[in-house]
Structure 1
Amino acid sequence: MAQAEFDEIAETFEFLDDWEDRYRHVIELGRDLPPLDDSLKGPASKVDGCASQVWLVPKLEGDRFDFDGDSDAMIVKGLIAILHALYAGRPVAEVPQVDALAAMSRLGLDEHLSSQRSNGLRAMIDRIRLVTANAAA
Structure 2
Amino acid sequence: MDIEWEAGSLRVTGKSRYEARLPLPQDVGDAIAAYLECRPSCCRSDRVFLSTIAPSRPFRNGDGVSSVVRRIMKRAGVVTPVKGAHALRHTAATEMLRHGVPLDKIGLVLRHRGIDSTAHYAKADVTLLKQVAQPWPEAL
Computing the radius of gyration over CA atoms, which structure comes out larger, 1 or 2? 2
Q: Which has the higher contact order (CA 8 A, sep 6+)?
A: 1
Indicate the structure with greater helix content: 1
Shared fold by TM > 0.5?
no
Pairwise TM-score range, normalised by the shorter structure: 0.3 to 0.5
TM-score, length-scaled by structure 1 = 0.33
TM-score, length-scaled by structure 2 = 0.32
